[in-house]
Structure 1
Amino acid sequence: MKEKAVLPKKNQLLILLLIGILLVVIAIPTPGKKKTEEERDGSRTSSKTMDGNYPDSSEEYEEYLENRVARTLEYVEGVGKAEVMITLKSSGQKIIEKDQQNTSQKTDEEDSSGGTRSVQDNTTDKTSIYEQGSDGSQSPYVSKELTPEIAGVVVIADGGDNAVVVQNITEAIQALFGVEAHKIKIMKRTDT
């Protein structure tokens, strides 16, 4: 007995096609300006950090971190008004994408006395990859950017004389930056 294969009808195919198109449209990211915390609450920040990206120079990066940490600590009970100073060990590092080609060649040679010798030749050629800007300029393509490592942190806060507050601030900075406790100094703020 021969069975007849059941094919989907036109309406079912159309529905499947529309579902497929809908899934593709949903998966495509839409460009949109994301508001950073600084834009929402109008807090004190450098205008160069308002676009949501990390600042370019080490000094701007320090200022960016100092402002964020100070603003965050001021929400902690007992801290009060806070000023933060952060020092960096070095500037950040940009990893440039390189196109790498490896070639390997193996040659077996025989000499007149019947002995064989094998020669292996390996070559690696690395070329930087460039991206073209909207103005036609070319710059190396950065595949990864490493942020600078923090050397030390000083926090001057209204509650800097309270042992519990000092412990909370120290633990917060250790959790954020992985800085050892002896590289963190918390002091009482004075009004001058």
Structure 2
Amino acid sequence: MTKQQWIVILLLGLLLSVIALPVSKKSSTPKQTILMDNSTQSTDEIQSSLERRLQNILENVEGVGEVKVMLMTEEQQGIYRSGETEVRGVLIAAEGASDPVVVQKIQQAVMALFQIEAHKIKIMKMK
């Protein structure tokens, strides 16, 4: 056999091995998002839902204790942001807020969840 025939056979073998590789099928179901679909819910419903979800999460963090949450939101309108709800400020009353470490944990969690600055978050000790 000539050198060209060996190259052709080698390339055919490589092509057949690539064809035989398993292919993963992508799921046709859409990914879930953290926030709800704003088109079917009012701003107040979204705000209440976010408050409940944040309260439930924080109450399960060690040292936080009982929590009450209030969000200040604003509905954005524009070319690219039609009907999105933006969190503008957060007020949290927590039993464990007398501990500075707990306050820092709460603040960091809220900053990460809502992409807001620290000065827009107020954490107070619950009586």
Deviations 1:113-167 (A, max 9, x none): xxxxxxxxxxxxxxxxxxxxxxxxxxxxxxx768433221111222133343233
Residues 58-73 of structure 1: pairs in structure 2 closer than 5 A: 58-73=43-58
1:183–1:63 distance in 2 versus 1, CA, 3 Å: same
Select the structure of larger CA radius of gyration: 1
1:53–1:78 distance in 2 versus 1, CA, 3 Å: closer
Whether contact under 8 Å (2:55, 2:69) holds in the other structure is yes
Q: Which has more helix, going by share of residues? A: 2
The letter for the 1-side match of 2:60 is: Y
Local SS of the residue matching 1:171: helix
Q: 1:186 aligns with which of 102, 123, 126?
A: 123
Whether contact under 8 Å (1:70, 1:83) holds in the other structure is yes
Provide the rounded CA distance (Å) in 2 between the counterparts of 1:185 and 1:52. 23
Whether contact under 8 Å (1:58, 1:92) holds in the other structure is no
1:171–1:94 distance in 2 versus 1, CA, 3 Å: same
1:182–1:14 distance in 2 versus 1, CA, 3 Å: closer
The letter for the 2-side match of 1:78 is: G
> How far 1:85 sits from its partner (Å)?
1.2
In the alignment, structure 2 segments of 5+ residues that lack a partner are none
RMSD of aligned residue pairs (Cα, Å): 3.5
In the alignment, structure 1 segments of 5+ residues that lack a partner are 37-50, 97-143
Aligned twin of 2:9: 8
1:92–1:64 distance in 2 versus 1, CA, 3 Å: farther
Identity of aligned residues (%): 35
Whether contact under 8 Å (1:156, 1:187) holds in the other structure is yes
Aligned twin of 2:101: 164
Residues 39-188 of structure 1: pairs in structure 2 closer than 5 A: 54-56=36-38, 57-88=42-73, 90-93=74-77, 95=79, 147-188=84-125
Q: What's the TM-score, normalizing by structure 1?
A: 0.47
> How far 1:4 sits from its partner (Å)?
4.3
> How far 1:70 sits from its partner (Å)?
1.6
The letter for the 1-side match of 2:19 is: L
Deviations 1:3-47 (A, max 9, x none): 5423338x946544322xx33xx1x3123587x7xxxxxxxxxxx
Aligned twin of 1:136: none
Residues 8-27 of structure 1: pairs in structure 2 closer than 5 A: 8=9, 12=13, 14-19=16-21, 22-23=22-23, 26=24
Aligned residues: 120
